[in-house]
């Protein structure tokens, strides 16, 4: 709306808000952000593992936030701390198991078909970022295990020449990477991935008789 009350043409407007709104509206087709109906081929267990990965990721974030509230001495000494620590570990284990099965399913479906290359790429990069997050999690345990892993990791990372960029022996740096930088990267990539899935729709089976953009 302009100050006079008439509607502004979004195409003609240079207003940032209008431009962003138009962009968001164009990103996902109307009604596809949270659809309540899906094509019949989606009624298969193999299509469940993407959302299972997301559910596990939310438990990882929740339990990780809880650990951050209590702190190191709490998760090492109290029974509730031990429980939340285990909850964080096992939700990560399930997150990776679900994500890998999702990856296998999508690989054998050739899920990059129908202009879905960016969906595939964001998923693959999110997987790599998740591995980095998990590895820095090992370094953040603050026990002999994390000390052992960090000394082994620094040799491997220095051998491939990336030890100059970060120091796995620096517990403070690795803890901050684990609780801020890498979860943020995984979260942003996961949101982008889901938005792209909603934009292009779920990939049909290879032999499905559906019209797809080439």
Closest CA to 182 of 74, 70, 57, 84: 57
Q: Does 16 bind another protein (CB under 8 A)?
A: no
- Contact with another protein (CB under 8 A): which of 3, 40, 160, 164? 40
Q: Does 164 bind another protein (CB under 8 A)?
A: no
Instruction: Return d(Cα 167, Cα 174) in angstroms, integer.
Output: 8
Interacting span for another protein (CB under 8 A) from 14-22, 64-72, 97-105, 181-189: 97-105
Interacting span for another protein (CB under 8 A) from 98-106, 137-145, 164-172, 183-191: 98-106
Distances (CA, A) of 91 to 75, 84, 95, 172: 16, 10, 6, 24
Q: Does 123 bind another protein (CB under 8 A)?
A: no
Q: Does 95 bind another protein (CB under 8 A)?
A: no
Q: Does 101 bind another protein (CB under 8 A)?
A: yes
Q: Does 86 bind another protein (CB under 8 A)?
A: no
Q: Does 204 bind another protein (CB under 8 A)?
A: no
H-assigned helices in the chain = 16-27, 49-70, 72-77, 79-108, 117-139, 144-159, 171-176, 182-200
Q: Does 44 bind another protein (CB under 8 A)?
A: yes
**Cβ closest to another protein, residue 97 vs residue 195:** 97
32: CB partners within 8 A, 6+ apart:
198, 199, 201
Contact in structure between 210 and 88 (CB atoms under 8 Å):
no
- Contact with another protein (CB under 8 A): which of 28, 49, 53, 95? 49
- Contact with another protein (CB under 8 A): which of 58, 68, 100, 208? 100
- Contact with another protein (CB under 8 A): which of 10, 13, 18, 48? 48
Q: Does 105 bind another protein (CB under 8 A)?
A: yes
**Cβ closest to another protein, residue 55 vs residue 192:** 55
How many CB atoms within 10 Å of residue 143? 9
Q: Name the DSSP class of 113.
A: T
**CA dihedral sign of residues 61, 62, 66, 72:** negative
Least separation in angstroms between CB 187 and another protein: 24
88: CB partners within 8 A, 6+ apart:
60, 63, 64, 66, 67
Residues that bind another protein (CB under 8 A): 40, 43-46, 48-49, 97, 100-101, 104-105
């Amino acid at each position: 709306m302009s100050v006079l009350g008439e509607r502004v043409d979004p195409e003609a407007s240079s207003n940032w808000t209008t431009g962003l709104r138009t962009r968001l509206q164009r990103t996902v087709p109307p009604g596809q952000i949270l659809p309540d109906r899906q094509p019949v081929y989606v009624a298969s267990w193999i299509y469940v593992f993407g959302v299972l990965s997301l559910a596990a990721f939310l438990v990882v974030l929740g339990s990780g936030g809880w650990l951050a509230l209590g702190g190191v001495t709490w998760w090492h000494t109290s029974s509730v701390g031990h429980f939340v620590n285990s909850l964080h570990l096992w939700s990560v284990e399930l997150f990776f198991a679900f994500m890998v099965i999702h990856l296998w399913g999508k690989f054998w479906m050739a899920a990059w078909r129908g202009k879905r290359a960016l969906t595939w790429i964001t998923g693959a990069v999110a997987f790599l970022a998740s591995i980095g997050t998990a590895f820095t999690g090992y370094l953040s345990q603050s026990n002999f295990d994390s000390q052992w892993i960090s000394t082994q990791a620094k040799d491997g990372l220095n051998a491939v020449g990336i030890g100059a960029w970060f120091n796995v022996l620096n517990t403070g740096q690795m803890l901050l990477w684990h609780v801020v930088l890498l979860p943020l990267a995984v979260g942003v990539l996961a949101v982008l991935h889901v938005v792209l899935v909603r934009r292009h729709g779920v990939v049909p089976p290879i032999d499905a008789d559906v019209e797809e953009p080439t």
